[in-house]
Every structure is written in C-alpha cells, then in structure tokens.
Chains A and B, each alone.
Chain A
C-alpha cells in the first residue's frame, strides 16, 4: 500500500510533465500552422501589382488590379488613430501616476474603467459609433474609422503604459519638484522614464488597430479608391480579406489570401520590432 502510493506519485509526475510539454508544443503547432497556411496560400497571389495598384475594372471578377486601396486605407486609419491615441493617453497616464496618490479612489475607478473599455468588444464600439454617426447624419467614412479605432486603442495605450509607469521611482518626480519644477514640467522626466513602455504600447496598439475588422466594417465602409478627404469611405486590409473570401470566383479568393499574407507580414514585423524595442529602449531608465 505504502509502496504503491510512493510509486504513484512519481508516475503522476512524469504523466503531468509529458502533458505540460505537449500543451506547450501545441502552442508552437498552432502558431506555425497558422503562419504556414497563410504563407502557402498567399504566396501565389503575391505580386508587385497586388501591393502597388488599385483595383481595376473587373477586379472582383478576377481581372487586373491590386490592394493599394486597402493598404493605404489601413495606413491612414492606423496612423491617425495611433497619433491621436498617444496624444490622449500620455497625459492620462501621467496624471494617474504623478498627480494622483497611488491609493487614490479616482485612480482606482479610472483604471477599472480603462480595463472595462479594453474589454468592450470592437463590434460594440462599432455599433455605438455607427448609431452616433447616423444621429449626426454622417456616412461611413475615414473619419468615422479613425475615431472608432482611436477609442479602441486608447485603453491599450493607457493600460500598457500605466504598467510601466507604476513601477517607476516617484523619487524622480520629487527631485524635479524640489528643484522648482511644477508637476506638469516633470512630464519631460517621466516620459523619458516610461519611454520603453510608450514604444511597446504603440506597437501593441498598431497591431490591434491594423487587425481590427469589426469596428471599421461599420464605420469606415469599403471603397476601391484611396480616400482624398476625411468624409470619404476607406478600405482596410482585414476587410479586403473578409470580403474577397466570400466571392465564389477562385481568382478573387486568391487575392484574399494575398491580402492576408500582407496583413500577416505587417503584424509579424510589428511583433518582432516590439521584442527588440523592449530589450533595447531602456536607455534612460533608472531602476
């Protein structure tokens, strides 16, 4: 009896270990399966034409043209949303960490709110923005897309910058203030301290923004041309994948694979850059 129990626990140990390794390997299998599938299918569809031309006449029955509309549309939306997001979130993070006391109720409530905002599905943001736009009499447009994506990524910005900012030494702020700086003026010191946080937060937000389909579907619409003003609709890469995949024509589906490959490559580059930056950008950081 005693012997049995003694033996069992080592058997259990081995079984558990094997299962754990299997689970970890499964992660690699999933990731490589996804990336392999996208590359294998998208490779044939890739050509210079795909990324340098607008959809031509008869594009959606398989004739010539490319995805430039979606690539540029995505860049406009993501670029503008990222800049707006940074402008809003840096002051908020600064306020939460420098102005408010670490145990402040307002700080707790605001952080909880940003967590909740982070959790709200992008389709709900889209639906909400859509009704507001109807109320204002606006149609699906680049501006609508930019605003909704900005709302979507602000919580990501704030949460990930806040994580870094919370651990930075407050003594730095005290030192600056004791030298006569106002609290606002210490932002220069603080921003330098949380620079790696800002950089990774930015990449994280870009990744989320460029991949979002549900919210832009309702707010930015889709178009074959490059928007020349904020009130025109704009195409985006995820929707280029989504819409073209629904086509019954094989050549058009092929293009969906191409668009997916472009999107995946962009996201992978962002993810790799993120790793490099987190490792390198810590120059000004005092620990």
Chain B
C-alpha cells in the first residue's frame, strides 16, 4: 500500500462514521429508558382528570361501576384480575415445578428433546387461539360437567375458565424459567446430599429447592406480571361481568378486558377515557414493579453463581 492510499484509508471519514454511529447507537439505547418514562408520564397525565375528581382510595376500593352516572369503582376489575391470575398461578406452579425438576434432575436426553419443542409450541400459540380453545373446550366442560356438581347453573364463562386458560398460557414461561434456575445449582451440593444417603427426591426437596428459593420466587413474580396483562384469551372466557366474583364459577372482568372492550366507545365521555387510562396505569405500575424486582433478584443470583 502506498503512502497516499494508507492516508486515504485512515481518513477522517472513517472516524466521523465511527462518531456518528456510536452517538446514534447511544441515543437508541437511551430511548429505551425514555420510552418507559414516556409511557408512565403519558398514562399519569391522562389519568389526572379522574384522580382530581375522585380520591385514589375511592377509585381502588369502590365497587360500583356506573360510568354514565360518574361512578368509577375499580374494585370488581382489580378483584377479577387478581382472582384469575391467582387461579392460573396456583394451577401452573405445581405442574411447571414438577416438569422442570423432572427435566433437570431425572429425565434422559430424549425426553428433553421431546419436551422443549412442545414448550416452544405452547409459547408460540397466539393468545386468541388459547381463547378459542377455552371457548370450545374449557367453558363447555365447566358448564356441563363441573358446575352442575356445585351450583345450579353456570354459563362456564368464569374465573375458573380464565384461570385454566391463563394457567396453560404461562406454563411454558414458568417451566423455562425454572429449568434455567435449577440447572444453575452447583452439582457439588447434590453430590454431597446424595453421598449422605438422601434419595434424589430428598435432595431435590431439601437441597435444591431450598438453594433456589429466591429464583423460584422471582420467576413466579415474573409469571404473575405476565399473566396479569394477558388480554384477549381471558376476555374471551371469563364472562366480563362487572361484579365481585364470589366463587370460581362466577364471571369476572379483569382490567385488560375492561380496556379492550371499552376503548372504542369511550371517546364521547372524557372522564370515562381518563378512567380507562387509570386502569392502564394500574396495570403498568404493578407490572413494572414486579418486573424490576424479579429481574434484580435474578440478576443478583446470576452474579453470585
């Protein structure tokens, strides 16, 4: 290479390109921070009108929802969200824990090779398909087989239906989180326990589960926040009745369903729009807090191991 060519190659043009590229990338990275803040600020501004009119306590603990009369009690929706999510997690937790233990501690390779694609598929199925499955299978099963044993009549569109559908939906997430956590337990711990005569299950129960409890807690929190925001599938099967659900067979009306169902018509009443944005804000705040906490726990664990 001649002197002239060399000079051309190291010309300021390349350095300029470097500068421009690194600044652009920095801005892109920072805009993630910005977007979180922007969403928060946007939702707060939009829910200000209703917060000025009603106290936070009235909104969150009020149980009367009559938007046309100006009554906005969110309790039925909050209760709906909590109950459906709770049922989902209660159903999904044992199944996913047992599966994850089986995959990491017991199973042979071919089992893993068969299970992971199934988890992929379950994770990939769109929520509307889960909803349709719920409508065609779970809801009729509840109304025809299960409910008659307990109550006189149930349409099947209920907390339980929402919980079952949602439970299946969060399974793949929970299993993969658990598998990741369990496979990071040091082998020495297991060997020590087994060499003292403990069976595999005793080792799992007393050593591994104890060792990974923080990770399990964080994973459950992450799954809860995932489940809480799920919209269409739950909306399709939970009945959408704005009342406090008193049993598993009652209909419920979770917050995301409220948002999805009313967004079109809310335009005419400004305070109604503000109320719906407040619903979005509640979801946002809870999900963000749960996410940050669980991520911090998981990050710490990763660092220590």
Contacts and interface: CB of A to CB of B under 8 A. Distances in A.
A260 B129 contact: yes
A123 B101 contact: no
Contact of A119 (B111, B225, B280): B225
Interface string A1-37: 0000000011011001101111110111011011101
A238 to B, nearest CB: 4
Interface residues of B, number: 91
B137 to A, nearest CB: 6
B interface secondary structure, majority: helix
A242 B95 contact: no
Interface stretch (A126-134, A167-175, A191-199): A126-134
Give the residue among B97, B99, B236 with the most A Cβ atoms within 10 A: B99
Contacts of A92: 25, 28-29, 32
A245 interface: yes
Interface string B153-168: 0000000000000001
Given A24-B99, A24-B102, A127-B259, A257 B122 contact: no
Given A99-B22, A120-B287, A183-B22, A12 B132 contact: no
A213 B232 contact: yes
A22 B99 CA distance: 8
Contacts of A123: 229, 231, 256, 259-260, 280, 283
Tell me whether chain A's interface is mostly helix, strand or loop, or mixed.
Answer: helix
Question: In this complex, which of B17, B36, B129, B204 has the most chain A Cβ atoms within 10 angstroms of its Cβ?
Answer: B129
27 contacts: A20-B99, A23-B94, A23-B99, A24-B107, A26-B99, A27-B99, A34-B125, A34-B129, A37-B132, A91-B21, A92-B29, A94-B25, A96-B29, A99-B25, A109-B33, A113-B35, A116-B288, A116-B295, A119-B222, A121-B283, A184-B18, A207-B124, A211-B124, A263-B126, A267-B129, A268-B121, A271-B124
For the complex of A and B, 8 pairs with smallest distance between CB atoms: A121-B229, A211-B126, A23-B98, A95-B25, A20-B102, A214-B231, A119-B291, A238-B128
Interface of B: 9-10, 14-15, 17-18, 21-22, 24-26, 28-30, 32-33, 35-36, 39, 42-43, 46, 94-99, 101-103, 106-107, 111, 115, 117-122, 124-133, 135-137, 168, 171, 175, 198-202, 204-205, 222, 225-226, 228-232, 236, 256, 259-260, 263, 267, 276-277, 280, 283-284, 287-288, 290-292, 295-296, 299
Interface of A: 9-10, 12-13, 16-17, 19-24, 26-28, 30-31, 33-35, 37-38, 41, 88, 91-92, 94-96, 99, 106, 108-110, 112-117, 119-128, 130-132, 134, 151, 180, 182-185, 207, 210-214, 217-218, 238-239, 241-242, 245, 256-257, 260, 263-264, 267-268, 270-271, 274-275
